[in-house]
Structure 1
Amino acid sequence: MKKHLTMLALAGSLTSPAFAQSSVTLYGILDEGINFTNNTGGNKNYEMASGYAYGNRWGLKGSEDLGGGMKTIFDLENGFDLSSGRANQGGRMFGRQAYVGIATDQYGSVTLGRQYDSVVDFLGPTTANGNWAGYLFAHPYDNDNTDNSFRVSNSVKYTSANYAGLKFGGVYGFSNTAGQLANNRLMSAGASYVSGPLTLGAAYMDINNVGVGSAGAVAENDASFFAAHQREFGAGINYVVGKATLGFAYTHTTLDNPTGNGYLTPASFPTGVSVSSLKFDNFEVNAQYAFTPSFFIGGMYTYTSGKYDGSNGSAKPKWNQVGLMADYNLSKRTDVYVQAVYQKVSGSTGTFLDDAYITGTDNSSSTNKQVVGRVALRHFF
């Protein structure tokens, strides 16, 4: 008996400090609503759709104090469709995030796993879709990933500490293909600065053979576009004036030898047509006004200028998109919101790019115009 009591006391002395210095948090977001789209493939569509303003998720995150100002951190985050219960992000169990790393208050953190890129971390928050509006407000086909369309698998990431409002970092996603270091490899870097009412953000990203196979940084069932090379950069600014927040963001995306689009899979360029280059320049202005702490309205206008070069000729398509949103908090964790978005495309390429497609709708329009409306309930836990 004495031996058993001694062992129990020893076990208690070993485990108690660990519990005192460690923490694990269960969290999540549930976003469910009804969408109406005036034209999807030539028909009107009423549908239940989830995860639009914020993607549905549940996750476990935590840390362990290692002493000397150092700690272990981790996050396992699952994304799912609330309407059907199926897993999102290509059916991955922890498709939104899955990483472990070391963090210090003085130098920042190094994490390894499946993570967000620098565009999402530093530039996205200056846009409407990457901050308060979500999916439907994304730039055409989310060509710049400000709406988190894909994550970076097999990645190592550095995020600095906060130095008087300045933060910076970078991500490297491995190809995980023997002898092919640059096959579906990703590199990105970015920085942000926050001082009083001012927020600035900028980022750069470079991906080789994006969407090729399932082993690389951005797999086929992750990518927004499939291409031999994708490069993008951009910058944005938000400024708070009283109850209003005003924003502007610019992003540029270049796709070399694109072959198709992930949103409209298996959409590809017409048979016999090869495309050497596709470029997007996105200019966004956005505004948000908080009438009360519980109620805000927001608006966004995006002008996107494209440049298409293919074996069937060259073209300069244009996208004009307007979005409006109103959100009311029923409590600290539950809110209801309504959204409406209109898009018009001009300039023929002879491809699927000619038809209006608001990111998140069931299908592209049969014309160059599309309108979608949404009403939804959201809960945080």
Structure 2
Amino acid sequence: MKKILALTALSAFAVSSHAQSSLLLYGILDEALTYTNNTGTTNANGSVTPAGSKFAVDSLSGMYGSRWGLRGDEDLGGGLHTIFTLESGISLPNGGQGQGGLMWGRQIYVGMKSANFGQVTLGRQYDSVYNFTMLLDSGSLTSNGASMHAGDLDNAAINLRQNNSIRYLSPNIKGLTFGGGLAVGGVAGDVTNGLQYNFGAQYDTGVGLKVGAAYEFFKNPIGSSAGTGWFTSNGSGTLLSHALDAGYTSAHNYQIGMVAAQYTKGQWTFAGSWSNAQFGKMTAFDGKTVTFNTFDLGFQYMWTPFFSTAVGWNYQTSTGVTRPDGTKVGNQHSNQFYGRASYNLSKRTALYSAVGYQDSRGVNSLGGRAVADIDNIVDSSTGKQVVFRLGITHFF
């Protein structure tokens, strides 16, 4: 018995000495005083009851979004690694958690990685828009709620993640990276219910230009309970709670296509993107589809290694959809202008200010007058909305 225990201990020591492990605790605190004018409460008929201007302290809609997490890596030898990440969104004003109160709402996954073959991970994860296009669009240069697309219909503000997902990301092959994911619905008796798949690619030319593309499809995007669909993938509620898209909750599928490009030369960076989002097979509209197209352009200038400014514009349009009674809704468009200035006090701490202005016109998804909706912060009581942030970020 003693010989068996000794051999077991020796083999355990041999394994531990062979495997190199690392564990990283990291986080970002991004807190700002936020002013939003013309806020309101959206009614079932599409009208908005005015609620007045609003001042708030916010840590979830900033340049980075406050978070903390743990990242681990175990070297198994032969170029193979076990990896994992646990990351939680945090709300500094009240000490709560982001993403609807989920403990690990930003991401949580475990998997294997190889320098030659890429990585495969399983869990709650980011999508292909994040991996291949979001970091190239104009909004990435200002990176805060004041600059995000109306309703975040293309998920370029990462309001949503994919639950129950299996994801592959390739290694960098002479500037090219690609990958995709599959999320299973977990519904007994119907293996396609809640099915999600996505894929994309990005190419870095090595001379300042990067281009990317992504496609995503979601079947039954509105789950019966929190965490079971795409628009209900957070801990509570649904993202489709604003006048822009609240009328489209009967959609049986949803898809996103996005392309983006970014070019850096010296102190200048230019960026732009186009995205197409579709709510398909809506039972409330006799199976019809409504389509949104969003375009953005912007640039950043680095005045010094510590101080930068950025400005941008995005335009969103939808031709709408016709109800069974013949009335048309959702035929609206919006123009949005935004800017950001930031100053790095150190490698870890920065001060920033950001402003966004949106002008929306037409008819919203519920049949009322179109109202402004920057990101998904709050519906305006009119077609216009201003969001201003004055904040501080700290990395640890």
TM-score (structure 1 length as normaliser): 0.89
Equivalence for 1:236: 260
Q: How does 1:80-229 map to 2 (within 5 A)?
A: 80-130=90-140, 132-196=142-206, 197-214=208-225, 216=228, 218=230, 220-222=232-234, 224-225=239-240, 226=249, 227-229=251-253
Equivalence for 1:358: 374
Aligned equivalents of 1:187 and 1:9: distance in 2? Answer: 45
Runs of 4 or more above 6 Å deviation: 6-9, 272-275
- Deviation at 1:341? 0.3
- Deviation at 1:16? 5.0
Aligned equivalents of 1:305 and 1:354: distance in 2? Answer: 12
**Residue 323 of structure 1 is aligned with which of 334, 338, 341?**
338
Aligned equivalents of 2:77 and 2:16: distance in 1? Answer: 16
SS in structure 2 of the partner of residue 23 of structure 1: strand
Aligned equivalents of 2:330 and 2:229: distance in 1? Answer: 31
Gapped regions of structure 2 (runs ≥ 5):
41-49, 241-248
Aligned equivalents of 1:219 and 1:248: distance in 2? Answer: 25
Structure number with higher relative contact order (C-alpha < 8 Å, ≥ 6 residues apart): 2
1:44 and 2:53 correspond: yes
Aligned equivalents of 1:247 and 1:367: distance in 2? Answer: 30
Equivalence for 2:275: 251
**Residue 289 of structure 2 is aligned with which of 272, 277, 283?**
277
Compute the RMSD of aligned alpha carbons.
2.5
Equivalence for 2:383: 368
Distance 1:16 1:179, change over 3 A: closer
Aligned equivalents of 2:20 and 2:369: distance in 1? Answer: 54
SS in structure 2 of the partner of residue 210 of structure 1: coil
TM-score (structure 2 length as normaliser): 0.86
SS in structure 2 of the partner of residue 124 of structure 1: helix
Aligned equivalents of 1:30 and 1:107: distance in 2? Answer: 34
Equivalence for 1:268: none
- Deviation at 1:74? 0.5
> Percent of aligned positions with the same letter in both sequences?
37
- Deviation at 1:36? 1.0
CA displacement 1:347-368 (0-9 Å, x = unmatched): 124536711111253x211110
Look up the equivalent residue of 1:357 and give its one-letter code: D
Aligned equivalents of 1:110 and 1:236: distance in 2? Answer: 25
* Equivalent residues, number: 365
- Deviation at 1:131? 5.5
User: Residue 213 of structure 1 contacts residue 219 of structure 1 at CA under 8 Å; is this kept in 2?
Assistant: no
Of residues 331-340 and 210-219 in structure 1, the stretch that sits farther from structure 2 once superposed is: 210-219
Gapped regions of structure 1 (runs ≥ 5):
260-271
User: Residue 298 of structure 2 contacts residue 310 of structure 2 at CA under 8 Å; is this kept in 1?
Assistant: yes
Equivalence for 1:263: none
User: Residue 326 of structure 1 contacts residue 337 of structure 1 at CA under 8 Å; is this kept in 2?
Assistant: yes
